[in-house]
C-alpha cells in the first residue's frame, strides 16, 4: 500500500478495516460533535478500528461528509443522526437510532461542546444557559439514556467493557480568567465522569475525562493571535489517547487525563 502523505493525520492512514469487520468485532460507538474537529478525528479512528458508528451534531451536511469519508476508508456501518444537543429531544432520538441500527453500545464519546470567553461580571445569562445545555445537560441526558445499552453490552467476565470518553478541558481542572462558565461546565463533566466510575465500573462501564489545553481546531481560532496553531495540541494527540483508553480491559479505570501544552506552566489552556 502506498504510504500516505506526511500531512495526513495518523488516524486516517493505512485503513485496515475491510467490509464486514465491524460485524466480526460487533463493537459500536456514538460520537457527539462528530461533524468536525476532535469528534471527526475520533469517529475516523473508531471507524478504522471496525466500530459501527452513530454520528451526531447539528450540521447534517458536515456529518454526511464525515460519514462518506469513513465509508471511503472502509467503515461500512456509519449512521448519521443530526440534532442540537441543547434540544431535550436530541439524546432520545440519537439513542433510538443507534439502538435500532446496532442494538448495543461499547463506547459513548461525549465530545460536542461550545465555549465563549467572558468575564464573570458581564457574562450574559443566555450564553450561560446555552453552554450548560450543550456541555452538561445534553451529555448527562445522553449518558443516562445510554446506560441500559452499555449494561446490555458490557460483560466484565468475558473481558468486554463499555467506555464513556468525555471531552472536558484543562480549564475544568485549573481555572482561567475569562473562561468561568466554560470551565465550570467542564469541571462538572469531570465530576460526572468520576461518578460513572464509582457507580458503574464494577459492571464494566467506566469513563474517562480528557482535559486538554488548546487544541488546533476551529474552536481555538479566536485565540490564535496569542497562541499560534503550531503551539497547540494536535487533534491526532487526542485521538491517540482515546484509542488507548478504548483498548483497555474493563479492569482498568482511567478517570482523567490532563494534556497540557509544551512551554506552558501546565496549569493553563
Ligand atoms: N479545541 C480545544 O482547544 C479544546 C480544548 C479542550 C477541550 N475541548 C473540547 O473538545 C470538544 C471538541 O471541540 P473541538 O475543538 O473539536 O471543537 P469544534 O471544532 O468547534 O467542534 C465542536 C463540535 O461540537 C458540535 N456542536 C457544537 N454545538 C453543538 C450543539 N448545540 N449540538 C450538537 N453538537 C454541537 C459541532 O458540530 P455542529 O456545529 O455541526 O453542531 C462540532 O462537531 C469540545 O467539547 C471542547 O469543549 C476543546
Q: What is the pLDDT of residues 203-222, one digit of tens each?
A: 999 999 999 999 999 999 99
Percentage of the chain with pLDDT > 90? 88
Q: Which residues are catalytic?
A: 182
Question: How far apart (Å, rounded) are the C-alpha atoms in residues 242 and 166?
Answer: 10
- The atom of ligand 1 lying closest to the CA of 34 is 43
- Cross-strand partners of 109: 31, 165
Distance in angstroms (rounded) separating the CA atoms of residues 269 and 259: 9
Distance CA 137, CA 144 (A): 10
Q: How many residues does the chain have?
A: 269
Cell of 40: 471527526
Helix axes 235-246, 37-48, angle to 10 degrees: 40
> Which of ligand 1's atoms lies nearest the C-alpha of 85?
32
Query: How, if at all, do strands 78-80 and 52-56 pair?
Result: parallel
Q: How many helices (H) and strands (E) does the chain have?
A: 8, 7
**Residue to substitute in 82, 84, 113, 220 for testing ligand 1 pocket (most ligand atoms within 8 angstroms of CB):** 113
The residue among 61, 24, 33, 27 whose CA lies nearest residue 47 is 27
- Ligand 1: atom nearest CA of 33 is 43
What is the structure's pLDDT at 7?
52
Ligand 1 binding pocket, CB closer than 6 Å: 33, 35-39, 57-59, 62, 84-86, 111-115, 134, 167, 169, 212, 214-215, 217-220
What's the 30 CA to ligand 1 centre distance in angstroms?
A: 15
Q: What is the pLDDT along the chain (269 residues), one digit of tens a residue?
A: 233 344 554 434 433 333 433 333 689 999 999 999 999 999 999 999 999 999 999 999 999 999 999 999 888 899 999 999 999 999 999 999 999 999 999 999 999 999 999 999 999 999 999 999 999 999 999 999 999 999 999 999 999 999 999 999 999 999 999 999 999 999 999 999 999 999 999 999 999 999 999 999 999 999 999 999 999 999 999 999 999 999 999 999 999 999 999 999 999 99
**Segment 2-59, tens digit of pLDDT:** 333 445 544 344 333 334 333 336 899 999 999 999 999 999 999 999 999 999 999 9
> At which residue does the C-alpha cell 493553563 appear?
268
Ligand 1 mean position, distance from CA 155 (Å): 31
Kindly give the distance from the C-alpha atom of residue 112 to the centroid of ligand 1, in angstroms, as a whole number: 4
Alpha helices in the chain, H assignment, sequence order: 21-25, 37-48, 60-72, 90-102, 125-132, 138-153, 180-200, 235-246
Amino acid at each position: 500500500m502506498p504510504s500516505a502523505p506526511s500531512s495526513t493525520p495518523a488516524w486516517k492512514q493505512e485503513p485496515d478495516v475491510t467490509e464486514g469487520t465491524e460485524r466480526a468485532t460487533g463493537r459500536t460507538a456514538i460520537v457527539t460533535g462528530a461533524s468536525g474537529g476532535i469528534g471527526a478525528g475520533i469517529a475516523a479512528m473508531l471507524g478504522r478500528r471496525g466500530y459501527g458508528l452513530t454520528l451526531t451534531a447539528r450540521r447534517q451536511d458536515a456529518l454526511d461528509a464525515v460519514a462518506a469519508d469513513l465509508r471511503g476508508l472502509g467503515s461500512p456501518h456509519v449512521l448519521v443522526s443530526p440534532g442540537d444537543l441543547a434540544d431535550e429531544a436530541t439524546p432520545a432520538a440519537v439513542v433510538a437510532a443507534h439502538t435500532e441500527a446496532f442494538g448495543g453500545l461499547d463506547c459513548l464519546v461525549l465530545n460536542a461542546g461550545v465555549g465563549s470567553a467572558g468575564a464573570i461580571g458581564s457574562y450574559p445569562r443566555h450564553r450561560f444557559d446555552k453552554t450548560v445545555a450543550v456541555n452538561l445537560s445534553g451529555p448527562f441526558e445522553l449518558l443516562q439514556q445510554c446506560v441500559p445499552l452499555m449494561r446490555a453490552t458490557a460483560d466484565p467476565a468475558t473481558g468486554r467493557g463499555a467506555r464513556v470518553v468525555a471531552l472536558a478541558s484543562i480549564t475544568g481542572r485549573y481555572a482561567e480568567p475569562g473562561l468561568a462558565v466554560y470551565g465550570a461546565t467542564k469541571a462538572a463533566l469531570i465530576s460526572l465522569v468520576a461518578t460513572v466510575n464509582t457507580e458503574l465500573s464494577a459492571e464494566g462501564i467506566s469513563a474517562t475525562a480528557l482535559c486538554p489545553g488548546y487544541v488546533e481546531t476551529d474552536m481555538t481560532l479566536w485565540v490564535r493571535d496569542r497562541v499560534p496553531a503550531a503551539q497547540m495540541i494536535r487533534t491526532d494527540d487526542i485521538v491517540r489517547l482515546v484509542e488507548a483508553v478504548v483498548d483497555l480491559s474493563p479492569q482498568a479505570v482511567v478517570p482523567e487525563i490532563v494534556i497540557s501544552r509544551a512551554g506552558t506552566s501546565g496549569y493553563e489552556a
